[in-house]
Amino acid sequence: MQFMHNLSERYDKFKVFRYNVKRSKDIRNDYSYTENGLTFKRGEIKYLKAIQNLHLELFRQPLYPFLVWLYRFRMRELVSVVVDENDNLIAYDLFMFQPVEKDLKVIHEIYVGVRHKYQDKGIGVKLRQYSSQCYDEGYLDGISTLADFDNIKALRTAQKAGFAITKTSAKPLAHYLFKHLTRRY
C-alpha cells in the first residue's frame, strides 16, 4: 500500500516537472545589472549546488528533489540569482508554474532567500523587483507568491516589490500575494 502511495506521489511530481518544463520555455527576458558590486542575473546551472546549500541553511530543509531536477533543465528561465564580484552566490529567487494555477498565465515565486550576512540591506526587495522585470512584457499576466503569517520580512519585501495581498491560502496558512505584469502576447 505504502509502495503504491510512493509510486503515485512520484508520478504526480513527475507530471508537475513535465508541465513546468513545457510551460517555461523562453519565458523570460535576458536582462541583468550590477550595482554596488552585486550582479542580478538569470540562473545558470553552475549555481545550482550553491542554491541547494543556501536553501538548506535558510530553510533548514533541502530543496525538493523535483525542483532540483526542474532547475537542472530550466535554470535560466525559472531562477534569478545575485552574485558578488567573485561570483559567490548571495541570493536566489525560484519560480515554477503551479498546477492549481494552470488556467492562468501566472508564474509562482516559490522561494526567495538572501544569505544571512547580506539580509536587511534591501537585496530581497531588489531581487524580487528584478525578477518581475524579467517576466514583464511577455507571456504572463502576473506573479503569485505566499508569505507565511509569521514571516513579516517575506511579506514586507513582497509588498515593497509591488505585490499585494489578494487572499489567504489555507494550506499552508499564509498570505497569497499577486503582482500584475503587462502581457504582450
Ligand X SMILES: CC(C)(COP(=O)(O)OP(=O)(O)OC[C@H]1O[C@@H](n2cnc3c(N)ncnc32)[C@H](O)[C@@H]1OP(=O)(O)O)[C@@H](O)C(=O)NCCC(=O)NCCS
Contact footprint for ligand X (CB under 6 A) = 58, 111-114, 119-125, 151-154, 156-157
Considering beta carbons, is residue 21 or 110 the nearer one to ligand X?
Answer: 110
Q: State the first-to-last Cα distance of the chain, in angstroms, to the nearest integer.
A: 46
Contacts of 86 (CB under 8 A, 6+ apart): none
Considering beta carbons, is residue 144 or 157 the nearer one to ligand X?
Answer: 157
For 15-141, list the strands marked E by DSSP: 33-35, 38-42, 79-83, 89-96, 106-114
Considering beta carbons, is residue 6 or 37 the nearer one to ligand X?
Answer: 37
Q: Hey, what's the cell of 95?
A: 519560480
Q: CB 120 → ligand X: shortest distance, Å?
A: 4
Q: CB 118 → ligand X: shortest distance, Å?
A: 7
Q: CB 111 → ligand X: shortest distance, Å?
A: 5
| Residue 44: closest CA among 99, 1, 87 | 87
| Residue 176: closest CA among 160, 159, 32 | 159
Q: CB 179 → ligand X: shortest distance, Å?
A: 15
Considering beta carbons, is residue 2 or 36 the nearer one to ligand X?
Answer: 36
Considering beta carbons, is residue 56 or 152 the nearer one to ligand X?
Answer: 152
The DSSP call for residue 183 is B
CA-CA distance, 58 to 90, in Å (whole number)?
A: 12
Three-state secondary-structure class, residue 3: helix
Other CB atoms within 10 A of residue 126 CB: 20
- Name the residue whose CB lies closest to ligand X: 124
Q: CB 45 → ligand X: shortest distance, Å?
A: 22
Three-state secondary-structure class, residue 62: coil
